[in-house]
Structure 1
Amino acid sequence: MPTRPQLAHLLAACAAALPVLLAAPAAVAAPHEPPPPPAAIGGERMGLSGVQVAPLPGAPALPGDLTGRSWIVADAASGDVLAASNPHLRLAPASTLKILFADTVLPKFDRNLVHRVADAEIQGIGPGSSLVGIKEDLDYRVEDLWRGVFLSSGNDAVHVLSHMNGGIRQTVTEMQARADALQARDTKVISPDGYDMDGQVSSAYDLTLFARAGLRNPDFRMYCATRDALFPGAVDKNTGQRGSFGIANTDRLLGKYPGLIGVKNGFTTEAGSTFVGAAERNGRTLLVTVMHPSTYQKVYDETAALLDWGFAAADKVTPVGKLVDEAPAGGTEPTPTGQAGGTAGAPAPPPHPSPSPTESARTAAGAAAGGGPDGGDDGLGPAGWLGIGAAVLLVAGAAGARFLLRRRDRSS
């Protein structure tokens, strides 16, 4: 059995070493610096606030009176973003969300298919909604319903098509899946028609992705460019003949701005005005989205001004971002920035790679000097765990020494 002086010496050594050893893991356990935010979809500058533009010599200046809280100008073919302001700002989309609805549902039904509308299909439409005037127990061709969606922004037409597609909930689920496939990460779908709903948001960037995808469908392109049409009406009780009435596209730029293809406008109390427009000039198609300007008319004025600027500046600016392509099937996706050089589906590196042996040695040295960690994901690293183990052993040794001293005293 150790002598009393030996036990006393062991206890004193443990007491002296314990604070020093315990200090190392405390330093190593300090939290990591927060990791940098993930790269914005479309490129780093797409995640910055304020106006993003990179003019070359001779480039025209951007319009000076833009009030939209978020906007973007992009080339539909290349995907190059020529200029943008807060493109990923999440805002209420109003009826521009119908672009995603059309891109999701339009390919499913032949335009000549005839559908008899049940009363339940036009119930539950939000008060104050825009309507094309669909009546229950009447037959409508699918192409009539789509004209009601694009020209009159009819929420009743959206509801009928949604019921044909399996119901409102099913359609919302499919729209969200379509948004995810297009890498539209700012979009949360709650209603298929864009009616104001808590939590329903999109962004200028995402709406532009939807428009770009939709315009690849000839039927989508035809409907959004239609200025006016006849819509089936009710049956005349006297003659038994079914009448019709005229509807006109509510897009105020269609037929007025040179080369305008169309796409979709929107307005709700929460969203204010939103607009997605596409125009073609000299073989180039530009997409412009403007969200939440100061007044209703401003959305058209600012869209026209940005289109003018885009056609004049297209070859005189360096792109500040990219419209990403649709993610490949099977769950793999292109790089978040959508730029060349990435490998689709490649796993992302861990945010804090495990340190090499040399780095571990530097970590241990830094901890001994009172510095913070630079190690593994748990925040401790190898040196930290070694320090904790040593401290536990010393504490156990100290406790054992005290026990032996007390036992010796009792024996004496």
Structure 2
Amino acid sequence: MAAALLPATPVASADAPVPEEIPVGLLVDLSTGQTLFSREADRRFVPASVTKVMTAYTAFKLVEEGELRLDMPFLYSAALEEEWYAEGSNMFLRAGERPTIAQLLLGITTVSGNDASVALAIAATGSLEDWIALMNANAQELGMRNTHFGSANGFPDGGQTYTTASDLALLGQAITQRYPGLYRRYFGHRTLRWRDITQSNHDPVTGRVEGADGMKTGYTNEAGFTFLGSAERNDHRLVMVLASAPTTEIRDDAARALLEWGFANFERATLAEAGAIIGSAEVQDGSAQRVNLRLEHDFAVALPVGSTPERWDVAIVYRGPIEAPVAAGEIVARLRLSVDGEIALEAPLLAAADVEEANVLERISNAFGSWIG
């Protein structure tokens, strides 16, 4: 299971290569859920064409649920051509053409087709309104609390579409880890040819940074230059967001440098394996006074290169004592790792056994034991 993204102070970010001209930035290690770099991660901004990652995610979800077929053709209408032909980034669809869902997805992920995004939306649900409602429902399900979509393609819509770097990191985690096969199939292509038109992908990291495989750039005059990107090396995946950069060159250079920095400056290790008993927690009014705590997942961590155990602090945290009854497998505490006094990682701890409510004799015994203690 994927690690939950941790909204904590980055374990090391002072030397991250993100220039001050870029007001919003975030780098997350999905293997551990840790934030490695953060700048205004919860500040709202206009995502522009990065919106299309949610369009792709929504399509992937429908495909996996059997509600949408990749080989299904869609008759592109004259009305859609009139509205969207050559309007911003484009696949250059023409009326009467019958692209499949698979072809539309490539048009979205590779050349950021505004026309392809609208065509896919209508093909899948029958209307833009229904599709956008589905996008927003998916955003809520992913925990993207500061995000709203007003279009399928990120075209300027009077401020209806907005998001944050933290929310886009959740989307990046979901699309790469819930639908890895579809992600690999549709993201990371360098060019797309439709009829006699060949276009290049503007993704600044794929093919330029080892392990990089997407995802999406965005630009409007209002939004500036934005990028949601990802790369994977040795089973460790990073997701990054840069928003509102003043130029494409500044954004692209920073995107490549930030991913390289994230891989080069952190050592990754598993400190404890899933199922390990970490300690115990006090139980109130239970048949036992304490319950053992076990890890739900591996306690894997990314630490700054050169970090020493003297800088670490590991603690079991919970609101206690925990009131009985306690069910085995219930999350009752968290294991917290701090580096230099800042929270670097937390992981859920589960009760390792059932603890029933104490009967009268057990309550007397517990009270006596507490008094003696």
Query: Structure 2 length as normaliser, TM-score?
Result: 0.65
Give the distance between the partners of 2:117 and 2:265, measured in 1 at CA.
38
Matches within 5 A, 1:117-156: 117-125=76-84, 128-156=87-115
Segments of structure 2 that go 5 or more residues without pairing to the other structure are: 63-67, 268-302, 313-332, 334-342, 351-373
* Structure of higher RCO (CA pairs closer than 8 Å, 6+ residues apart): 1
Structure 1 gap segments, 5+ residues each? 1-40, 46-51, 234-243, 320-334, 344-412
Structure 2 counterparts to residues 243-282 of structure 1, below 5 A: 244-282=196-234
Q: 2:244 matched to 1:283? A: no
Equivalent residue in structure 2 for 1:168, among 108, 128, 137? 128
Query: Are 2:74 and 1:115 aligned?
Result: yes
- Counterpart code for 1:174: L
Cα distance in 1, alignment partners of residues 208 and 248 from structure 2: 17
Written as runs of structure 1 = structure 2, the 5 A alignment for 1:368-379 is none
Q: Could you tell me which residue of structure 2 aligns to residue 351 of structure 1?
A: none
Equivalence map 1:319-358=2 (5 Å): 340-341=347-348
CA contact (8 A) 1:76 1:287 kept: yes
2:257 aligned with 1:297: no
Which residue identity lines up with residue 222 of structure 1 in the other structure?
R
Query: Following TM superposition, by how much is the alpha carbon of 1:181 offset from its aligned partner in structure 2, in angstroms?
Result: 0.4
SS in 2 for 1:116: coil
2:71 is aligned with what amino acid? N
Please state whether the residue corresponding to 1:287 is helix, strand or coil: strand
Question: Paired residues, what number?
Answer: 267
Structure-2 separation of matches of 1:256 and 1:305 = 11
Give the secondary-structure state (helix, strand or coil) at the position aligned to 1:158: helix
Matched, 1:223 2:183: no
1:106 matches 2:60: yes
Residues 258-310 of structure 1: per-residue CA shift (max 9 Å, x gap): 22111111111111100011112233111111001232211111111111111
Q: Note the alpha carbon deviations across 1:93-148, whole angstroms, 9 max, x for none.
A: 01111111111123432222222212234454498421110011111122111111
Matches within 5 A, 1:174-193: 174-193=134-153
Contact 1:121–1:163 under 8 Å retained in 2:
no
Report the alpha carbon displacement of residue 253 of structure 1 after superposing the two structures with TM: 2.5
1:289 maps to amino acid: V
Q: Which has the larger radius of gyration?
A: 1
Letter in 2 for 1:69: P
- 2:21 is aligned with 1:67: yes
Q: Distance in 1 between matches of 2:55 and 2:135?
A: 6
Aligned to 1:204: 165
Q: Which residue type is aligned with residue 54 of structure 1? A: V
Aligned-residue sequence identity (percent) comes to 25
Q: Does 1:54 align with 2:11?
A: yes
Indicate if the aligned counterparts of 2:111 and 2:192 stay in contact, CA closer than 8 A: no
Contact 1:91 1:202 in 2 (8 A): yes
Matched residue, 1:327: none
Measure the CA separation in 1 of the matches of 2:6 and 2:207: 34
Name the CA shift for 1:340/1:88 in 2 (closer, same or farther; >3 Å).
same
CA positional deviation for 1:224: 1.2
Is this contact kept in 2: 1:113–1:141, CA < 8 A? Answer: yes
Quick check: 1:69–1:85 contact (8 Å CA) kept in 2?
Answer: yes
SS of match in other structure, 1:303? helix
Letter in 1 for 2:75: R
**Superposition TM-score, scaled by structure 1 size:** 0.59
Query: Residues 251, 90 of structure 1: CA spacing in aligned structure 2 closer, same or farther, 3 A cutoff?
Result: same
